[in-house]
């Protein structure tokens, strides 16, 4: 079973259970959503957390949204957040690294979604290809404009280094009088498990994948790449991540943003 820190780490749960839309470049996200098929369509949110994206989609007029997350406590928050729209939203506690499409409720949902979304989930999955295949099969085929999947992942530059506490370090380049804060990159080509400190909590298990692997795996399962972005943290994320100065953070992208289409 995948690691579920939110249900046993009160500090981590309290930090993230009440967050609103705090992803960077939310304007970019909403500009990339295919509203012509999402409005009055069916949406699934993998790793829905406290249900903030589900709420956003309900307010935008979707027919139904399903939220799935490994954390029972976060699912309860999602149900509470969207209790006035329970006819439009359903929530399931699910280990997204190990769920099967022949199991309830997914066996009745194959090929039923117009749009899928995931926020900072994929770098916690040990089998990226298996997950992408399941997303592909849950999306509708032969949609007029193509069913699509948008996801955010922690940027591979951030997940690569085998350090307990990944952080910017001071480095003086040859020819420069002053030191600069840089993000150390090592073991980039060595994919796999990392154990690190994140958001003030120790022992967090993540999985490092290169950008090459993300892109080629999506293509392998049948998706068409529509957009790739590399995004920096914004000020409102720094408190959540226990991060430092925004000017330092701008030296290295924090997020990999990818949109793909199933035709």
Determine the structural domain holding residue 104 and report its residue range.
10-155+206-243+254-262
CATH number of the domain that residue 32 is part of: 3.40.50.150
User: CA–CA separation, 263 vs 242, rounded Å?
Assistant: 40
Examine residue 212 and state whether it is found in any structural domain, yes or no.
Answer: yes
User: CA–CA separation, 149 vs 34, rounded Å?
Assistant: 10
pLDDT in tens, the chain (263 residues): 566 665 555 565 565 656 554 455 577 888 999 999 899 999 999 999 889 899 999 999 999 999 999 999 889 989 988 888 778 999 999 999 999 999 999 999 999 999 999 999 999 999 999 999 999 999 999 777 789 999 999 999 989 988 656 677 776 777 677 777 777 788 999 999 999 876 667 788 999 999 999 999 999 999 999 999 998 776 545 554 555 555 666 667 889 999 999 97
Examine residue 96 and state whether it is found in any structural domain, yes or no.
Answer: yes
119-155 as b/e: b if 16+ CB within 10 A: bebbbbbeebeebbbbbbbbbbeebeebbbbbbbbbb
Examine residue 162 and state whether it is found in any structural domain, yes or no.
Answer: no
Examine residue 115 and state whether it is found in any structural domain, yes or no.
Answer: yes
CA diameter of the chain: 64
Examine residue 136 and state whether it is found in any structural domain, yes or no.
Answer: yes
Examine residue 62 and state whether it is found in any structural domain, yes or no.
Answer: yes
Examine residue 86 and state whether it is found in any structural domain, yes or no.
Answer: yes
Instruction: For residue 64, list its beta bridge partners.
Output: 42
Examine residue 141 and state whether it is found in any structural domain, yes or no.
Answer: yes
The number of folded domains in the chain is 1
């Amino acid at each position: 079973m995948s690691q579920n820190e939110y249900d046993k780490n009160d500090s981590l749960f309290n930090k993230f259970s009440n967050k609103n839309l705090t992803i960077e470049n939310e304007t970019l996200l909403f500009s990339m959503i295919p509203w012509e098929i999402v409005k009055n369509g069916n949406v699934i949110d993998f790793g829905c957390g406290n249900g903030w994206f589900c709420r956003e989609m309900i307010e935008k007029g979707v027919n139904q949204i399903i939220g799935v997350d490994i954390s029972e406590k976060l699912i309860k928050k999602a149900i509470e957040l969207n209790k006035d729209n329970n006819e439009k939203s359903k929530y399931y506690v699910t280990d997204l690294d190990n769920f099967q499409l022949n199991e309830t409720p997914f066996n009745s949902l194959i090929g039923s979604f117009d749009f899928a979304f995931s926020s900072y989930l994929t770098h916690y999955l040990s089998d990226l290809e298996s997950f992408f295949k399941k997303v592909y099969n849950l999306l509708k085929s032969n949609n007029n404009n193509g069913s699509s999947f948008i996801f955010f992942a922690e940027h591979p530059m951030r997940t690569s280094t085998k350090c307990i506490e990944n952080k910017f370090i001071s480095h003086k380049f040859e020819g420069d009088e002053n030191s600069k804060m840089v993000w150390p990159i090592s073991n980039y080509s060595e994919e796999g498990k990392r154990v690190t400190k994140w958001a003030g909590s120790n022992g967090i298990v993540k999985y490092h994948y290169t950008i090459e692997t993300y892109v080629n795996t999506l293509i392998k399962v049948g998706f068409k790449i529509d957009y790739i972005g590399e995004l920096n943290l914004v000020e409102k994320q720094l408190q959540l991540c226990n991060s430092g100065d925004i000017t330092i953070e701008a030296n290295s992208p924090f997020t990999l943003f990818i949109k793909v289409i199933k035709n």
